[in-house]
Chain A
Amino acid sequence: MKKFISGWSLIKIFTFLVYVWMFTPIIAVVILSFNPQQFGSFPMEGFSFKWYVKLSHNSTILDAFKNSLVLGSCTAVLATAFGVPAAMAFIRYEFRGKEFLNTLLIAPIMIPEVVLGVALLLFIRWLQQPKSFALLLIGHVVLTLPYVLLIVQARLVGIKKEYEEAALSLGANPFQTFREITFPLLAPAILAGMLFAFTISFDDVTATLFWATAQNQTVPVKIFGMLRNSISPEINALGAVMIVLTVSTPLLAGYISRKFAKGTGK
């Protein structure tokens, strides 16, 4: 019997090729980061951690790394602190201008980052304030708030209002109801939103280029700068570290929220 290549197999092959095309550069970076030669080429001659060692002694990179971690963490905390109450308000209460306000908070997702970057910079000039860590932090919160908002809102919609109503009717006041019922049911989404905010902040280049000063450069901005000057295999090592971090954070978030979600029904 003769087998024809059906439409479906063609699509499968095509999809596979797209993935190859997408991931090959990333894999190449990771592989080349273990290459002992100054100028990376295949086939590799040997295997070494020397670029990683060198990286760990590069104080500017370590500073940038620290900056990124601090910025990412602060952004995650602030975006969650604003995002969760906002999501509660949008889903659970009726008030005037709700739709408008919601769109306004989601808007940064839809606006190109370059525009956002320039806009905030112009605003800060207009206020005659210097660029600072605070500016960078505000910018990143604006950038990541929509993600927290959307994730928490989606989860809140799924938490039936009756749970809260039942708790209230049983004598728990609104705060106790939040603590005992809403928060535990919402926790996976809050965690996921938080890690999302961290990842996006940690990963951002375009807007951060506009906002960062020499003192508070983040890792992606640093890499960008390094690429302009020279092509050092250190960048490969740094890239590999970044890839591992930004990929593992959301994966961890997914794992934790699934674990939390077990036994909590829908």
Chain B
Amino acid sequence: MKQEKDPAFVKFTGIEKRYGKVVAVKKMDLEIPEGSLVTLLGPSGCGKTTLLRMLAGLEEPTHGDIFIKGKRINDTPIHKRNLGIIFQNYALFPHKTIFDNVAFGLKYRSASKAIMKEKVEKALETVRLPGVGNRMPSQLSGGQQQRIALARAIVIEPDVLLMDEPLSALDENLREDMRREIDNLQQALGVTTIFVTHDQREALSMSDKVVVMKDGFVQQEGDPEEVYNNSVNHFVADFLGHSNFLNAVVNEQQGDCLSVTLEDNSTCLAIPAGTFNKGDKVEMVIRAQKFNLGYRADHVPEQGENVFFGKIVDRSYMGGEVSYFIELENKLVLHAINFVKRSPYRRGDEVCMKVMHEHCRLLKI
């Protein structure tokens, strides 16, 4: 029989961290389910690393409690917490061989020599670097070093794996490979993992749950699609992907949608995120990818769509897709990203931008 997974394997309650007058993390509550990969996503200084370091025992919380497996660990020193930590700069011990690096944690778990050897070799195989045990860390590339760091952390079978921006020191190409590797490894081992990053692509692509943070607060938490498609506020919508924001005033309910008046007095239909009253000032969010561009001359009005007309003022070709900046008649500039079908639009082209009602969302200001 499969054991029920603990939905609050790691739990923070009212956690707070102050450095003098600066508050890094403010009264935060967070639960992390067993076996899941949760990303803490946010710009630098949002408190994500501080939160991780408090869980690791490298920082002491000013207020609040931290629980792992239902046990309060505030007063447990770091070396008794049984956590695996992956650092941004690998932090392999430079004076020890790869074998000794990986075996380091096992030494303090009274493993016999034979078991130690077996476990280290298995861990090195898991990260696909068998046979490097005799080398020194400086003889390995950055990506290899990070994999050894991973092996060193998983070999002790930690309760929680903590990763602090583990990919940011790697090259762009390597980062993608490494990200997939971490993802696969985490799934195979089923170890509860907390991953700190400022890179939304990393967060969206690998997480079971994304926690978007800013200024020491959780802005939104949920699965990646939820957070991306149903961003609850301006910050989340802006931080994840490319969004357009248009000021609007609420008119009336029309089916599932609300009709709103934009600054140029045109009306649009959009999905409300929350409840609004007539006359409320709101912000309409449209993702750059949701626009469908066409030549203005070819425009045929269709049901269920909002349409904007404008002129292309800037564009940048990005391989498969093109990023366009389109100036509307009221001088507002919108950002649209479209796949290239035949030939991309050129600067100065008069275009129409169509977007489905359900892709326009209204947020409180």
Chain A positions near chain B (C-beta within 8 angstroms)? 160, 162-163, 165-174, 176-177, 180-181, 184-185, 263-266
Contact with A along B117-134 (1 / 0, CB 8 A): 000000000000000000
B91:A163 contact, CB within 8 angstroms: yes
**Beyond A172-B104, A173-B77, 14 extra complex contacts between A and B, CB < 8 Å:** A163-B91, A165-B56, A165-B58, A165-B85, A168-B58, A169-B84, A170-B108, A170-B153, A174-B79, A176-B108, A184-B95, A263-B95, A263-B136, A264-B95
Residue in contact with B89 in the complex, picked from A160, A171, A176, CB distance below 8 Å: A160
- Complex CA distance for A240 and B95, rounded to whole angstroms: 39
In this complex, which of B79, B107, B149 has the most chain A Cβ atoms within 10 angstroms of its Cβ?
B79
Given contacts A166-B87, A263-B136, contact A171 B108 (CB under 8 A): yes
**Is the contact region of chain A dominated by helix, strand, or loop, or is it mixed?**
helix
- Complex CA distance for A168 and B95, rounded to whole angstroms: 17
Chain B positions near chain A (C-beta within 8 angstroms)? 56-58, 77-85, 87, 89, 91, 93-95, 104-105, 107-109, 136-138, 149, 152-153, 156
A167:B93 contact, CB within 8 angstroms: yes
A185:B104 contact, CB within 8 angstroms: no
A170:B105 contact, CB within 8 angstroms: yes
Closest Cβ of chain A: how far from B136's Cβ, in Å?
5
B-side contacts of A177, CB under 8 Å:
79
A170:B152 contact, CB within 8 angstroms: yes
A166:B85 contact, CB within 8 angstroms: yes
Closest Cβ of chain A: how far from B64's Cβ, in Å?
21
A-side contacts of B137, CB under 8 Å:
265
A169:B78 contact, CB within 8 angstroms: yes
Closest residue of chain B to A260, judged by CB? B95
B89:A166 contact, CB within 8 angstroms: no
Closest residue of chain A to B85, judged by CB? A169
Closest Cβ of chain A: how far from B81's Cβ, in Å?
8
B-side contacts of A169, CB under 8 Å:
56-57, 78-79, 81, 83-85, 153
A172:B85 contact, CB within 8 angstroms: no
A-side contacts of B85, CB under 8 Å:
165-166, 169
Closest residue of chain A to B83, judged by CB? A169
Closest Cβ of chain A: how far from B100's Cβ, in Å?
9
B94:A265 contact, CB within 8 angstroms: yes
B56:A167 contact, CB within 8 angstroms: no
- Complex CA distance for A171 and B105, rounded to whole angstroms: 6
Closest Cβ of chain B: how far from A184's Cβ, in Å?
5
- Complex CA distance for A39 and B77, rounded to whole angstroms: 73
In this complex, which of B77, B81, B93 has the most chain A Cβ atoms within 10 angstroms of its Cβ?
B93
A171:B91 contact, CB within 8 angstroms: no
Count of CB-CB pairs between chains A and B under 8 Å: 75
- Complex CA distance for A180 and B105, rounded to whole angstroms: 12
- Complex CA distance for A184 and B95, rounded to whole angstroms: 8
Q: List 6 A-B contacts (CB under 8 A).
A: A160-B91, A168-B79, A169-B81, A171-B80, A172-B104, A263-B94
A170:B95 contact, CB within 8 angstroms: no
Closest residue of chain B to A266, judged by CB? B94
- Complex CA distance for A160 and B90, rounded to whole angstroms: 11
A-side contacts of B152, CB under 8 Å:
166, 170
Closest Cβ of chain A: how far from B220's Cβ, in Å?
29
Residue in contact with B79 in the complex, picked from A172, A265, A266, CB distance below 8 Å: A172
Closest Cβ of chain B: how far from A253's Cβ, in Å?
19
B-side contacts of A176, CB under 8 Å:
108
Closest Cβ of chain B: how far from A176's Cβ, in Å?
7
A-side contacts of B78, CB under 8 Å:
165, 168-169
A-side contacts of B57, CB under 8 Å:
168-169
Residue in contact with A162 in the complex, picked from B80, B91, B153, CB distance below 8 Å: B91
B79:A185 contact, CB within 8 angstroms: no
Closest Cβ of chain A: how far from B151's Cβ, in Å?
12
B109:A185 contact, CB within 8 angstroms: no
A162:B105 contact, CB within 8 angstroms: no
Closest residue of chain A to B82, judged by CB? A171
Closest Cβ of chain B: how far from A156's Cβ, in Å?
15
B-side contacts of A171, CB under 8 Å:
79-80, 82, 105, 107-109, 156
A163:B93 contact, CB within 8 angstroms: yes
- Complex CA distance for A85 and B36, rounded to whole angstroms: 42
**Minimum-distance CB pairs A-B, first 10:** A170-B105, A171-B108, A162-B91, A265-B94, A169-B85, A166-B91, A168-B78, A264-B94, A162-B87, A264-B95
Closest Cβ of chain B: how far from A14's Cβ, in Å?
42
B-side contacts of A168, CB under 8 Å:
57-58, 78-79
- Complex CA distance for A169 and B78, rounded to whole angstroms: 6
B91:A185 contact, CB within 8 angstroms: no
B104:A170 contact, CB within 8 angstroms: yes
- Complex CA distance for A167 and B93, rounded to whole angstroms: 9
Closest Cβ of chain A: how far from B239's Cβ, in Å?
27
A-side contacts of B105, CB under 8 Å:
170-171
- Complex CA distance for A71 and B91, rounded to whole angstroms: 41
A-side contacts of B56, CB under 8 Å:
165, 169
Closest Cβ of chain A: how far from B80's Cβ, in Å?
8
A-side contacts of B95, CB under 8 Å:
184-185, 263-264
A181:B93 contact, CB within 8 angstroms: yes
Closest Cβ of chain A: how far from B78's Cβ, in Å?
5
B104:A162 contact, CB within 8 angstroms: no
- Complex CA distance for A162 and B137, rounded to whole angstroms: 15
Given contacts A165-B58, A264-B95, contact A172 B108 (CB under 8 A): yes
